[in-house]
């Protein structure tokens, strides 16, 4: 009798799954969105909006490193000297941190990557790690270098929640206070002019080749990032 019951249960489960799959109700395909662009091109600004729109977690490797640095964790200590010099953190450290992050349950249906991948080796490692059924979209924010310098020079970042303002383009309602959480707004240490110059050089040398890498795969969509944040967001939406 017990065996018969177990048999019936297994049969019901198999039939149920077959019906579920037949009706197109099988597990949704995970969607991974990559925001590609030079420093200060608006990746963080747009990622916050897209994350809400797509209901996908926003994963910024820069934010993860800054979190580790503020906690003075071993990873933060190791990453600090690279970040403050405008260099890339070595791939091995980035990959471990990123792969640990995307294992969390909130990332099962996909996620939005801001600042990753940044080298061909990172892009290839991501490709290997993603299940083959994943839908991958790459959105490039195109902003020329002279605008980048202006944007980064005026950027104010919240030390408490990571929210971003700009002295001219997105000023806080109360001077030096974050609109979102009231935290103190400061300039990032890697936003000093000489470090920005190095970050841009590194971008052109090591990250820009990813535009070609993803174009050849036919999954890159370019958006003019020089427009207002609202206009850029609308263009991004239209590509998704
Ligand atoms: P990360 O934090 O990723 O910095 P980044 O790529 O240099 O980009 P930013 O955060 O500076 O700019 P953003 O594009 O997010 O622009 P935002 O929206 O803030 O990385 C920092 C460091 O960590 C790296 O240099 C590296 O050392 C390390 N690292 C991180 N990931 C790594 C990886 N994968 N591998 C190796 N190392 C890694 O906007 C900028 C400003 O402009 C703001 O003030 C904003 O208000 C304003 N703004 C935004 N949009 C507009 C607009 N449309 N019009 C006018 N102003 C705008
Ligand atoms: Mg950012």
- Report the greatest alpha carbon distance in the chain: 78
In this predicted structure, the answer to whether residue 101 has a pLDDT above a threshold of 50 is yes
Task: Render pLDDT for 2-38 as a digit per residue (tens, 0 to 9).
Answer: 555 555 545 544 444 444 444 445 668 899 999 999 9
Please check whether residue 138 is in contact with residue 113, taking contact to mean a CB–CB distance below 8 angstroms: no
Q: Which of 95, 115, 163 to mutate to test the pocket of ligand 1 (most atoms within 8 A of CB)?
A: 115
Positive or negative: CA dihedral 101, 106, 107, 108: positive
HSE value, Cβ hemisphere, 13 Å, CA-based, for 171: 5
Q: Which residues pair with 40 in a beta bridge?
A: none
Of ligand 1's atoms, which has the minimum distance to the CA of residue 231?
Answer: 53
Give the pLDDT of residue 159.
Answer: 83
Amino acid 6: pLDDT: 55
Interval 124-157: pLDDT, tens: 999 999 999 999 999 999 999 999 998 998 999 9
Beta sheet of 110-114, edge-to-edge order: 58-60, 110-114, 31-36, 135-142, 220-224
| Ligand 1 close to Cβ of residue 39 (< 6 A) | yes
Which residues are tagged catalytic?
43, 118, 155, 188, 199
CB 59, CB 51: distance < 8 Å: no
Interval between CA 62 and ligand 2 midpoint (Å): 7
DSSP 136-194: EEEEEEE--HHHHHHHHHTEEEETTT--EEETTTB--SSTTB-TTT-PBEE--GGGSHH
SS3 breakdown of the chain: % helix, strand, coil, rounded to 5?
50, 15, 30
Q: In this predicted structure, what is the pLDDT of residue 8?
A: 52
Check pocket membership of 134 for ligand 1, CB cut-off 6 A: no
Give, for 232, the enclosing helix (H) or strand (E): helix 229-239
Substitution site in 50, 61, 178, 227 for ligand 1 pocket (most atoms within 8 Å of beta carbon): 61
| Rounded alpha-carbon distances, angstroms, from residue 125 to 63, 80, 95, 208, 218 | 20, 23, 8, 17, 19
What is the rounded CA–CA span in Å between residue 56 and residue 181? Answer: 22
Residues 38-71: pLDDT tens digits?
999 999 999 999 999 999 999 999 999 999 999 9
């Amino acid at each position: 009798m017990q065996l018969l019951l177990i048999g019936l249960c297994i049969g019901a489960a198999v039939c149920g799954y077959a019906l579920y799959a037949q009706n197109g109700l099988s597990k949704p395909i995970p969607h991974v969105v990559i925001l590609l662009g030079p420093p200060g091109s608006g990746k963080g600004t747009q990622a916050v909006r897209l994350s809400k729109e797509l209901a996908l977690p926003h994963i910024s490797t820069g934010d993860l490193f800054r979190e580790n640095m503020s906690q003075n964790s071993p990873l933060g200590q190791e990453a600090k000297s690279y970040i403050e010099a405008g260099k890339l953190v070595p791939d091995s450290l980035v990959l471990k941190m990123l792969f640990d992050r995307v294992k969390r349950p909130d990332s099962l249906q996909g996620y939005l990557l801001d600042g990753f991948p940044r080298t061909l080796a990172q892009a290839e490692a991501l490709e290997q790690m993603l299940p083959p059924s994943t839908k991958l979209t790459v959105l490039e924010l195109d902003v020329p270098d002279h605008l980048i310098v202006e944007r980064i020079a005026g950027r104010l970042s919240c030390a408490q929640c990571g929210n971003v303002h700009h002295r001219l383009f997105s000023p806080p309602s109360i001077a030096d206070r974050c609109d979102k959480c009231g935290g103190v707004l400061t300039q990032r240490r890697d936003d000093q002019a000489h470090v920005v110059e190095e970050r841009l050089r590194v971008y052109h040398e090591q990250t820009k080749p990813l535009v070609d890498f993803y174009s050849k795969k036919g999954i890159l969509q370019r958006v003019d990032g020089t427009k207002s944040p609202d206009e850029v967001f609308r263009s991004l939406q239209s590509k998704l």
